[in-house]
Amino acid sequence: MLKVQEIRELIRLIDESSIDEFTYESNGTKVKMKKNIAEQTIEKANNQVANITEKTEEQSKLVETETKANVHTTEETHAEDKSSVNYDYEIVSPMVGTFYKAPSPESDPYVTLNSEVDESTIVCIVEAMKLFNEIEAEVSGTIVEILVEDGELVEYGQPLFRVKKK
């Protein structure tokens, strides 16, 4: 039979480890420990959503502080950009998350300007709640513009790349 101190030590070790469930049986006595993974996952998800919300609110405040002159200039610039870049298709973000142009900081980017892509070519990763989602081009063509920076927070439906179809 385990002593109370031994049970406490087991609880502490299981809690600090990556083990989710532990069972010990000796002389007809059975001790079973199971972590409450669902609550931990929900708590982590809530914290990450709160962080994303804070970042979005900060970005909104920055946008609100722009003067009308700056907004007017930005609109003119975007109008010029659209007319100067000839494209047929925009690859958009399927979710809110963080944009990454490469699988790791040491790796080369998935695509660069003038890269040839087809429907199954991975063009980037969007990370949401520690899940790294590979984004495919969904069209054959050439990347003519990259619209976001590495590590930038992106919104659902936000254009990431512009593609000139083949």
* Exposure of 6 in the CB half-sphere (CA atoms within 13 A): 5
Chain centroid to Cα 97, Å, comes to 4
CA 74, 80, 82, 86 torsion-angle sign:
negative
Same domain, 163 and 91: yes
Same domain, 165 and 93: yes
CB 152 within 8 A of CB 95: no
Is residue 80 in some structural domain? Answer: no
Alpha-helical (H) ranges within 22-93 are 37-64, 68-84
Within 8 A by CB and 6+ apart from 124, the residues are 99, 100, 101, 110, 111, 134, 135, 160, 161
- Closest alpha carbon to 155 in 46, 60, 78, 21: 60
- pLDDT at res. 147: 95
The count of structural domains within the chain is 2
CA atoms of 163 and 150, how far apart (whole Å):
18
- pLDDT at res. 60: 61
pTM: 0.50
Is residue 54 in some structural domain? Answer: no
Same domain, 92 and 163: yes
Q: How many other C-beta atoms lie within 10 A of the C-beta of residue 94?
A: 15
Is residue 59 in some structural domain? Answer: no
CB 121 within 8 A of CB 111: yes
The residue count for the chain: 166
Is residue 42 in some structural domain? Answer: no
Assign residue 161 the CATH number of its domain: 2.40.50.100
- pLDDT at res. 40: 56
Is residue 121 in some structural domain? Answer: yes
Rg of the Cα trace of the chain?
A: 24
Is residue 71 in some structural domain? Answer: no
pLDDT in tens, the chain (166 residues): 667 777 778 777 877 777 778 787 777 777 777 776 655 556 666 666 666 766 666 666 665 555 444 545 445 555 445 446 789 899 999 999 999 999 998 999 999 999 999 999 999 999 988 889 999 999 999 999 999 999 999 999 999 999 999 8
Is residue 13 in some structural domain? Answer: yes
Q: Structural domain of residue 8, as residue ranges?
A: 4-35
- pLDDT at res. 153: 94
